[in-house]
Chains A and B, each alone.
Chain A
Amino acid sequence: MENKATLTYSFSESGDENLFLTLSTRLCDTLSNQTVEWRQTYGRASHQFQLKVKILPLATALLERTDLVTRPYFHIFWTDCNDLDQYRSTIRTEISSWVNTLKNYKDTEWMIVVVAGDILSRLTKAKLPIPRMSIPDKVKSDFCSKNPERLHILHDPTKETTKSTESWTALGLKVANQTVRCMEVVVSKYEERVRAERERRNEKSWDFCSYLILQEELAFMYEMLGMFSPALVQYDELDAMFTQYVLNANAGDIAHWLSRFSEPIKHWHSMLLWKRIDGDARRSILEGQASIIDIRNYLFTRLCHLLFETGKLTEITQRMHIFLHSLSTEIAILEITVPSGAIDCWVFMCCLELVGALCRKSQLQNETDNTATDNPCFDMSNEQLVLENASLWNIARLKLYSLGELCGLMPGIVTTSAHLQIVVDLLAGMGEGEERGDVATSPALVLREALSSKNNFQKQYFELSELAMGTFKHMGHFRAVRCIGNDMAEFYLKLGEPAQAENYLIDTVRMYEADGWPLLLAKANKMLARCYKKMINIRKYLRLCYSLMCDEMISQEERIFYCDEFKSLSTDLGDDTLALNIHPLASVTSIQFIPAETSLRLNSNHHIVVTINSNAPKPMTFQSLQISLDHLGPDDGIEPHNIPDVISLSSFFSRTSEDEADVKSLLSRNFSHNSSAYNSLQPFRRHKRYASTTSSREFMSNQPAEINDEGRIDLIHFQHSKPSKFPASISLHAQRDLQDGALAWAGITCRHANDLLRRQDSSQSQVDKHRSTMSVTMETYECCLTTRQVTLNPGMNRVKLNAKTDLEGYFTLQQLRMSLHKTSFVLPRIYPLVSYQVSYLQPKVFMDHNEDLISGIVQHINIAVNKGDYVNPDQESNSTLSFKTPPSVRLLCVTKCSVATPDEDVSEIEKPSLVTSSDETSINLPSTSLHATVLLKIACLCLTTPYVQKLDVRKRHRRTHSAPPATFSRSPKSAQTQTHC
Chain B
Amino acid sequence: MAVCIGVIAKENYPLYIRCAPNVENEVNFHFTVHTSLDVIEEKVASLGKSTSISTTDLREFYLGQLYPSEDYRIYGYVTNTKVKFVIVVEAANTQLRDNEVRSMFRRLHNAYTDVICNPFHVPGDKIKSKSFDSVASSMIVPERKKENPLVI
The 6 closest A-B pairs by CB, nearest first: A516-B13, A727-B124, A321-B68, A477-B38, A725-B11, A338-B149
The answer, yes or no, to whether A928 is at the interface (CB within 8 Å) is: no
In this assembly, does A329 line the interface, its C-beta being within 8 Å of a C-beta of chain B? yes
A778 to B67, CA, bound (A): 50
**Stretch of B25-33, B97-105, B133-141 that contacts chain A:** B25-33
Chain A 305-348 interface 0/1 with B at a Cβ cutoff of 8 Å (1 = within)? 00000000000000001101110110110011111101100000
Instruction: Tell me whether A520 is interfacial, beta carbon within 8 Å.
Output: yes
Residues of B contacting A343 in the complex (Cβ-Cβ under 8 angstroms): 149
* Contact partner, B151, options A340, A517, A726, Cβ 8 Å: A340
Beta-carbon contacts under 8 Å, A505-525 to B:
512, 515-517, 519-520, 523
A331 to B147, CA, bound (A): 10
Which residue from chain A places its CB closest to the CB of B152 in the assembled complex?
Answer: A339
Q: Is A476 an interface residue (CB 8 A)?
A: yes
Q: Does A391 contact B (CB under 8 A)?
A: yes
B34 touches A515 (CB 8 A): yes
Bound CA span A517–B7, Å:
12
Q: Which residue of A lies closest to B124 (CB)?
A: A727
Cβ contact of B124, chosen from A328, A480, A726, cutoff 8 A: A726
Chain B residues positioned under 8 Å from A328 (CB to CB): 70, 149
Inter-chain CA distance A515–B148, complex, in Å, is 35
A519 and B27: CB pair below 8 A?
yes
Q: Which of A325, A480, A520, A726 contacts B27 (CB 8 A)?
A: A520
Consensus secondary structure, chain B interface: loop
- Taken residue by residue from 378 to 422, chain A's Cβ proximity to chain B (1 for < 8 Å, 0 otherwise) reads as 000000000000010001000000000000000000000000000
User: In this assembly, does A478 line the interface, its C-beta being within 8 Å of a C-beta of chain B?
Assistant: yes
Residues of A within 8 A of B149 (CB): 328, 331-332, 336-338, 340, 342-343
Residue of B nearest to A264 (CB): B152
Chain B interfacial positions (CB closer than 8 Å to A): 11-14, 26-27, 30-31, 34-35, 37-39, 42, 67-70, 91-92, 94, 123-124, 146-152
Query: A325-B70, A516-B11, A727-B123 are known contacts. Are A337 and B27 too (CB-CB below 8 A)?
Result: no
| B35 and A480 contact, CB distance less than 8 A | yes
Instruction: Say yes or no: is A916 at the interface (Cβ < 8 Å to chain B).
Output: no
Q: How far is the CB of B13 from chain A (nearest CB, A)?
A: 3
Q: Which residues of B contact A515 (CB under 8 A)?
A: 12-13, 34, 37
Q: How far is the CB of B121 from chain A (nearest CB, A)?
A: 12
26 pairs from A and B in contact (CB 8 Å cutoff): A247-B94, A264-B152, A321-B68, A322-B68, A325-B69, A325-B91, A328-B70, A331-B149, A340-B148, A343-B149, A476-B38, A476-B42, A477-B38, A479-B34, A479-B35, A483-B31, A517-B30, A520-B27, A523-B27, A725-B11, A725-B13, A726-B11, A726-B13, A727-B11, A727-B123, A727-B124
A325 to B69, CA, bound (A): 7
Closest to B150 in A: A337
A384 to chain B minimum Cβ distance, whole angstroms, is 10
Q: Given the complex, which residues of A lie within 8 Å of B151, measured CB to CB?
A: 337, 339-340
Cβ contact of A332, chosen from B11, B34, B147, B152, cutoff 8 A: B147
Q: How far is the CB of A334 from chain B (nearest CB, A)?
A: 10
Contacts of B39 in A (CB 8 A): 477
Closest B residue to A399 by beta carbon equals B70
Query: A519: which of B26, B38, B94, B150 is its contact (CB, 8 Å)?
Result: B26
Nearest chain B CB to A515 CB, angstrom units: 5
Q: Does A250 contact B (CB under 8 A)?
A: yes
B85 to chain A, nearest CB (A): 16
**Residue ID in chain B nearest A335 by CB atoms:** B150
Contact with B along A878-920 (1 / 0, CB 8 A): 0000000000000000000000000000000000000000000
The answer to whether B70 and A477 have CB atoms under 8 Å apart is: no
* Chain A proximity of B133: nearest CB distance (Å): 18
Q: Chain A residues near B31: list those with CB within 8 A.
A: 483, 520
CB contacts (< 8 Å) of A339 on chain B: these are 151-152
Within the complex, what minimum Cβ distance (angstroms) separates A758 from chain B?
A: 16
- Residues in B neighbouring A472, C-beta threshold 8 A: 38
A519-B30 contact in complex given A325-B91, A476-B42, A483-B35, C-beta closer than 8 Å:
yes
* Also in contact, A338 and B30, with CB within 8 A (given A325-B70, A516-B12, A516-B13): no
A339-B151, A477-B39, A483-B35 known; 6 other A-B pairs, CB under 8 Å?
A: A336-B150, A337-B150, A339-B152, A479-B38, A516-B11, A517-B13
